Structure 1
Amino acid sequence: MSSIDIDNSLGARIKYEREIRGWSLTEMAERASVSRAMIHKIERGESSPTANLLGKLSGAFGLTISALIARAEANQNRLLKFADQPVWIDPETGYVRRHISPQSDLPIDLVQVTLPSGKAVPMPQSAFAFLKQLILVTQGELIFVEGDIRHRMTVGDCLELGPPVDCVFVNESSSDCVYLVAVLTSK
């Protein structure tokens, strides 16, 4: 799926999630702390949301970013082939998010993230407020800033996220960092 197709699918899904809740654009903007105009542009597929913005929108719905992207993709197969795994690229940082688990009734989502060298991706507290997560570094080094706590993680290190706070994923190294995120959902 091209980035234009995923932008259109995400926009349509965000609009659908907003409308099934009976929220106006104004109410959605207030809940997500995102401008009404930006949500409108995303819903029409005219703008690609950043990772931070997608975190705010999915958090307002009580969904993980993974669940929102998976719903946009609407893949119901138990086997999710590599070539069919939804991939989303943050237009601001080049951060690549690959949803590797198939959409199912299991209460877990698996996501692989590639964070380019020298990049940082902030995530708002609202993206973590309703779920539990583990982060496992599989390549490179990751600095994970969780509120006032700075975790330096290398290959094989696994962290359980604490109480929801604003966080930042940082790659201070000279090569890409790849990590897995296991998200316990309330499906």
Structure 2
Amino acid sequence: MKDEMSSKEDEIIQRIAGKVREEREKKHWSLSDLAERSGVSRAMIHKIERAESSPTATILARLSAAFDMSMSQLLAETDTRSGTLIKLAEQPTWTDPETGYLRRQVSSWQLPVDIVSIELPAQCSVTIPTVSYPARRQLIWVSEGELTFTEGERMTVLSVGDCLELGEPTECTFHNATETLCRYTVVVVKPA
């Protein structure tokens, strides 16, 4: 089971590497161009593109935003057709190597709505920069545990069943201040 998990993680790192390189080359950007647009160092982008490093959630968010994509699009595995069943075991997952934050892509990224399931470990925080949010409306719905969500200057504590619509784009921090796992769903309405 451990080797299977390792193999899946390697696959995801390879897919991210290929996608970042592909998107950068499509735009005819150098590593320096992408570094300037994303705020991620040229050296880190080089490591990511060579699959020598898995990006953190913050870095992944910055790279996605530079390409004017959602994180889901950047992590997308393959195209899916309408009506396709995506079994739990087939849903692409990605784990932040720094925090253990786990992101599961529930819906096909090709739909006008993105549904992402998140597991945030106990005593863990993930900050997503402002650049990740332009022209995207989002909801957060907590299904297990408690989430402390900071949006700019505003802090909200969400319990099981609570749903919060995000406001204007600003830096956001997702924090699990408890000793147990927090599960929440992020629903992103894509721009038309």
Global fold match (TM > 0.5): yes
| Within-5 A mapping of 1:1-187 | 2-70=8-76, 73-77=77-81, 78-104=84-110, 106-186=111-191
The residue type equivalent to 1:97 in the other structure is R
Is the Cα–Cα contact under 8 Å of residues 79 and 102 in structure 1 kept in the other structure? no
Shift of residue 86, structure 1, vs aligned partner: 0.2
Shift of residue 75, structure 1, vs aligned partner: 3.9
- Residue matched to 2:4: none
Give the length in aligned residue pairs.
184
The residue type equivalent to 2:35 in the other structure is A
For 2:115 and 2:32, the matched residues in 1 are separated by 32
Is the Cα–Cα contact under 8 Å of residues 38 and 66 in structure 2 kept in the other structure? yes
What per-residue deviation string (whole Å, max 9, x for no partner) do you get for residues 71-104 of structure 1? xx11414221111000000000000000000243
Is the Cα–Cα contact under 8 Å of residues 65 and 132 in structure 2 kept in the other structure? yes
The residue type equivalent to 2:40 in the other structure is V
Sequence identity (%):
46
For 1:132 and 1:66, the matched residues in 2 are separated by 14
Unaligned stretches of 5+ in structure 2?
1-6
Is the Cα–Cα contact under 8 Å of residues 86 and 98 in structure 1 kept in the other structure? yes
For 1:14 and 1:178, the matched residues in 2 are separated by 28
Is the Cα–Cα contact under 8 Å of residues 118 and 174 in structure 1 kept in the other structure? yes
The residue type equivalent to 2:137 in the other structure is K
Is the Cα–Cα contact under 8 Å of residues 11 and 44 in structure 1 kept in the other structure? yes
Is the Cα–Cα contact under 8 Å of residues 72 and 109 in structure 2 kept in the other structure? no
Residue aligned with 1:174, SS: coil
Shift of residue 130, structure 1, vs aligned partner: 2.8
